Amino acid sequence: MKTNRKMECTEIKELLMPYAMQELSDAENEQIRLHIDSCDDCKQELEEIKSFLSVINTVEEESPSNNLKANFENILAEEIKSLETPVVELHPKNDWKSFLRIAASIAIVCGAFFLGKMSNYSEDTSNDNQQQEVLALLENQSASKRILAISKTTTAATDDFRIIDALINKMFIDKNSNVRLAAVEALVRFSTIEKVRDSFIKALETEQEPSVQIELIQILADIQEKRALVPMKKLLENEETPNYVKQELAYSIPNLI
C-alpha cells in the first residue's frame, strides 16, 4: 500500500480489526495511528474492537468466566415470494373469452413452475458459492479473516458436513486461540450431531488455553454430555490447571453426575 496516499474512514475501518490484532505492516500502522488521532468515530470503533478482544483474551484470576459470545454479523436469508395463480371462472357456453382465460391460467401455472425451478437452481448455486467462499476464507492467514469466516457459518445447514468438518478442524489445529474459541461457539448449533459431541470431548482433552477450556466445559455441561466426566475429572486433578478453570469444573461436574 502506498504511504503517500491518505486513507479514508471507510478504508481505515476495514483495517481496524487486523490493526488491533497486530497483523498490519509498519506503514499501515502509522497511517491508522495518525488517522485515529483526529477521527473520533474511528477511534471509538477501535476501542470497541479492543474491548471485544480483551474479553476473549482475559480471564480474571480466581473467577470463572461467562460464555464468551462474540457478536458476529448476522446474514439475513432472502425470502422468495410465493406465486399466486388466479382462479378462472368457467362458463357452460363455448365462450371464446373463457377459453382465453383458461389458456392464460395454464400459461401462468406453467410459468410459475419453471420460474420456481430456476429460482431453486439459482439459490442452490448461490449457497454453493457462499460455502466455497467460507471454506477458502477459513484458510486465510489473517486470524481476523478466519473469525469472520466462522461467523458466516451461522446460516449453514445442519447437514452441511463440509462446514462442520472445517469448523472441527479449526477448533483443533488453529494456532490462534481466538479462532479456536470462535469455532467452538459456532459448533454449538450442531451439538446434536454425535461427531460434534465427540469432538468437544476430544478437544477438552487436548486444549491448553484456559478460555477455550472453560467454553468447552460449559457447553458439555449444557448439552448434558456425561462422557465428558472423565476428561473433566482429569483436568480437575491436574496440578497445572488454573484455579479458575478448576472452579468451573467444580461447578459443572455435579450437573453431569
Q: What is the pLDDT of residues 93-143, one digit of tens each?
A: 444 445 445 555 555 555 555 555 555 544 544 567 778 888 888 888 888
- The verdict on 106 and 33 lying in the same domain is no
Q: Which domain holds residue 31?
A: 9-57
Quote the pLDDT of residue 12.
85
Query: Which residues have a Cβ under 8 Å from the Cβ of 4 and sit 6 or more positions away?
Result: none
State the average pLDDT for the chain.
Answer: 76
Q: How far apart are CA 41 and CA 30, in angstroms?
A: 18
Same domain, yes or no: 115 and 165: no
pLDDT tens-digit readout, 41-90: 888 888 888 876 665 555 444 444 444 344 434 433 444 344 444 444 44
74 lies in a domain?
no
Are 245 and 197 part of one and the same domain?
yes
Are the beta carbons of 212 and 180 closer than 8 angstroms?
yes
Residue 72: φ, ψ to 5°: -90, 155
What pLDDT, on the 0 to 100 scale, is given for residue 28?
Answer: 87
Shared domain for 146 and 247, answered yes or no, is yes
Q: Write down the pLDDT at residue 159.
A: 76
How many domains are there within the chain? 3
Q: At what angle do helices 9-20 and 26-38 cross, to 10 degrees?
A: 120
Would residue 108 count as lying in a domain? yes
Q: Which residues contact 112 (CB under 8 A, 6 or more apart)?
A: 83, 85
Q: Are residues 169 and 184 in the same domain?
A: yes
Same domain, 213 and 251: yes
Cell representation of residue 8 = 479514508
The alpha carbon of 195 is separated from its chain's Cα centroid by a whole number of angstroms, namely: 19
Residue 184 above 80 pLDDT? yes
| The one-letter amino acid at 241 | T
Among 159, 205, 160, 216, CA closest to 183: 216
The whole-number pLDDT of residue 45 equals 85
User: What is the spatial distance between Cα 118 and Cα 124, in angstroms, rounded to a whole number?
Assistant: 10
20 pLDDT higher than 70: yes
User: Which of 230, 179, 208, 231 minimizes the C-alpha distance to 68?
Assistant: 179
Percent of the chain with pLDDT over 70: 68
What is the reported pLDDT for 192?
Answer: 93
Phi-psi region of 89 (alpha: psi -120 to 50; beta: other; left: phi over 0): beta
218 shares a domain with 122: no
Q: Tell whether 160 is covered by a domain.
A: yes
Q: Which of 69, 68, 58, 64 is nearest to 249 (CA)?
A: 64
